[in-house]
Amino acid sequence: MGKGFLDPSSKTAWLYAEASKYIPGGTSRIHYYFRPYPIYAQSGEGCYLTDVEGTKRLDFLNNMTALIHGHGNPAIKKALFEQIERGTAFSEPSEPEVRLARLMIKRVNSLQKIRFSNSGTEAVMMAIKLARAYTGRSRIAKFEGFYHGYYDYVQVSFSSTPANWGPSEAPVSTPSSGGLADTVLGDVLVMPFNDQKAVEILLERHGRSIAALILDPLSNKGGFPLPAEGFFKFLREITRSYGILTIYDEVISFRVDSGGAQGKYGGDPDLTTFGKIMGGGLPVGAVGGKAEVMDLLDPSQGSPRVISGGTASANPLTMAAGLAAMEQMTPPVYARINRLGDMLRKKSNEVFAAAGEPAQLTGEGSLFRLLMTDEPITDYRTSIRKAAPQERFNRLHQNLLDEGIIISKEGLGCLSTPMSEAEVDQFVKALERAVAKLRKE
Ligand SMILES: Cc1ncc(COP(=O)(O)O)c(C=O)c1O
């Protein structure tokens, strides 16, 4: 065992100092960066990750929820090694692409066709372009606080604050990144999740200029609010009445059921975006949906209306790993990790209640989010309005790392198939100690 990663003479400190010379802030991924610097991964095995200091922790983050089978899954490794022997990349299509496409369409009811990309961000970008080309409109609608990757038109209002978010029934479009074109904010209508009346009024005013409503049925960034009874059905009906396409962004939520969150909560989106677990741990994205929309990508009858390419799209390694990952995700496997997720949330919430700490674990199935508020979560605003300052969460995050538990710096976590009740108990005991320490500090 080496030094603790925070020790100034640790390998981590050295790696981060080196990284900072060459990479802005020393990181290529904002979502894992935290102060003073993140841990550096050395290797992973099953549900454990070992950092460069030799410290082994339970990995409840799994590359931001992508590794549903944890690290080093034997079937995924075998599929990858076999594909490496056949070839790592071709200009030509290959069989694993066809097999993964068929599997996805069999599992997700609303899909008739699917097209692969390299990331969830690219999938969202492709879906928005498809919706624009199909409807002949350019504006899009999204829900406040929901994250959909880093394409310009969705980098809006996913990090609004009370200082700039405006009235709850008509949230202000705020930039969540610098560098957006001037027209973007005006082209994005931001709506409050779970507020039927507000959506009705906003769409009455803007609906006829909107190409698509993009919606994450289980939004991590929104705090994992569950849809109010009938809300998705209402959205489906109202968007149809204005000729707006609905895009379900299932980049994360596809984890909760073999048919995705739309399989669990219902919904019949025109388009759905995927990523994360579908690639078996390799970079991936996809858009699927109704044939009449997806066929705008079809080059077989001349130049397609929507052009999408990508040197690495449908890369055979990704397709082979994705297929091996998804084939193992049978309904009983989903049921088992979802049940572990229910157990983890229940026991963790008992820990917070017993300690008197106003915090909670939200989420569904194998996904969870640690929020520093006990307010019931119905939308983005309820997830942060009464939340303790970020600094308190940062200390809890650090305490959890010290206790051998990895979750994201925003509280996102998930289970993986190698986990069992024993790992759930380990999490709960570690949380108990981490919270007790927090309350003493
Ligand atoms: C709901 C959702 N959509 C889109 C994305 C973007 O996916 P990627 O990071 O693969 O570009 C993410 C990433 O976390 C996401 O959570």
Ligand 1 centroid–CA 216 distance in Å is: 10
pLDDT band at 178 (very low <50, low <70, confident <90, very high): very high
Q: Is the beta carbon of 251 within 6 A of some atom in ligand 1?
A: yes
For residue 59, the SS3 value is strand
Give the position of tokens 């030094």.
3
Residue 410 CB–ligand 1 contact under 6 Å: no
Nearest CA owner, ligand 1 atom 5: 149
Q: How many residues does the chain have?
A: 441
Q: How many other CB atoms are there within 10 angstroms of residue 153's CB atom?
A: 25
- Give residue 31's pLDDT: 85
Between the CA of 370 and the centroid of ligand 1 the distance, in Å, is 19
Token pair recorded at residue 298: 């079809």
Supply the pLDDT for residue 2: 54
Distance CA 399, CA 4 (A): 13
Distance of CA 334 from the midpoint of ligand 1 (Å): 21
Ligand 1: residue of 31, 117, 148, 214 to mutate (most ligand atoms within 8 A of CB) is 148
How far away, in angstroms, is 121 Cα from ligand 1 center? 6
CA 362/CA 284 separation, integer angstroms: 26
- Mean pLDDT within 392-406: 97
Q: Nearest-CA neighbor of 276 among 160, 377, 414?
A: 414
Cα dihedral 18, 21, 24, 26, rounded to 10, equals 10
419 has a pLDDT exceeding 80: yes
Give the mean pLDDT of the chain: 97
Share of the chain above pLDDT 70, in %: 99
Query: Per residue in 21-44, is it b (16+ CB within 10 Å) or e — as a string?
Result: eeeeebbeeeebebeebbbbeeeb
> At 234, phi and psi to the nearest 5?
-60, -45
In 3D, which of 248, 260, 292 has the Cα closest to residue 107?
A: 260
**Distance in angstroms (rounded) separating the CA atoms of residues 402 and 182:** 44
Look-up of token digits 């809300």: 231
Reported as a single tens digit per residue, the pLDDT across 338-364 is 999 999 999 999 999 999 999 999 999
Question: Could you give the angle at which helices 316-328 and 95-107 cross, rounded to 10 degrees?
Answer: 40
Atom in ligand 1 nearest the alpha carbon of residue 276: 10
Residue 107 Cα distances to 104, 127, 330, angstroms = 5, 20, 10
Q: Could you tell me the pLDDT band of residue 270, with boundaries at 50, 70 and 90?
A: very high
Q: Whose CA is nearest to atom 2 of ligand 1?
A: 148
Q: Give whole-number Cα distances, 430 to 301, 326, 423, 425, 426, in Å.
A: 59, 31, 10, 8, 6
Task: Report whether 401 contacts 434 (CB < 8 A).
Answer: no
Which atom of ligand 1 is nearest to 65's Cα?
A: 14
Q: With a 6 A CB cut-off, is 224 part of the ligand 1 pocket?
A: no
Nearest CA to ligand 1 atom 14: 149
Q: What is the pLDDT of residues 10-66, one digit of tens each?
A: 999 999 999 999 999 999 998 888 899 999 999 999 999 999 999 999 999 999 999
Cβ–ligand 1 contact at 282 (below 6 Å): no
Nearest-atom number in ligand 1 for the CA of 121 is: 11
* 138: pLDDT strictly greater than 90: yes
* Residue 173: predicted pLDDT: 97
179-196 residue pLDDT tens: 999 999 999 999 999 999
Residues with a catalytic annotation lie at 147, 249, 276
Separation of CA 397 and ligand 1 centre (Å) = 22
pLDDT at 12: 97
Residue 142 confidence (pLDDT) above 70: yes
* Pocket flag, ligand 1, residue 38 (CB < 6 Å): no
For the residues 268-293, what does the mean pLDDT come to? 98
* Pocket flag, ligand 1, residue 149 (CB < 6 Å): yes
Check: CB of residue 104 under 8 Å from CB of residue 111: yes
**pLDDT at residue number 32:** 85
CA atoms in the 13 A half-sphere facing the CB of 433: 13
Residue 147 CB less than 6 A away from ligand 1: yes
